[in-house]
Amino acid sequence: MFLWLLLIFSISAIPSVPAVKFPVSPDKIAHFFIYFVLCMLSKRAFYNQEKWLWLREHSLLAALLFTVAYGALDEVHQIYVPGRSADLYDALADALGASLFGGWAWYSARSRARA
């Protein structure tokens, strides 16, 4: 998980990234995918730790909150990178990626519990 966080931070620290115009921006798709994976890695990390019982029992909620917060902080970080700026739509794509993983994980867990 920490390597993924470092990768996200490193990419967002790159000054000015060229913009490409498409109906759905490849940038938003990348944000969605990156934060989907971050939420998945966070849930796994929170679930597999043994120090905080609450975090283990609520690993999906904690992963969602952590991922959305990290996405928002990443947008704030980009304010200070030359040629970059914060973008509300990037933060929304981040939250949507995390939420899709959250919904999928929740549905999978409920399906397994019924079987």
Instruction: Confirm whether 8 is domain-assigned.
Output: no
In this predicted structure, what is the pLDDT of residue 20?
Answer: 60
Q: What is the pLDDT of residues 25-79, one digit of tens each?
A: 788 899 999 999 999 999 999 999 999 999 999 999 999 999 999 999 999 999 9
In this predicted structure, what is the pLDDT of residue 101?
Answer: 97
Instruction: Confirm whether 16 is domain-assigned.
Output: no
Average pLDDT score over residue span 7-24: 73
Cα distance between residue 46 and residue 50, in whole Å:
9
- Residue 75: which domain range? 27-114
Instruction: Confirm whether 97 is domain-assigned.
Output: yes
- Angle between helix axes 26-48 and 59-79 (nearest 10 degrees) is 140
Do residues 92 and 29 make contact, with C-beta atoms less than 8 angstroms apart? no
**Total structural domains in the chain?**
1
Mean pLDDT of the chain: 90
- Side chain identity, residue 28: K
The model carries a pTM of 0.85
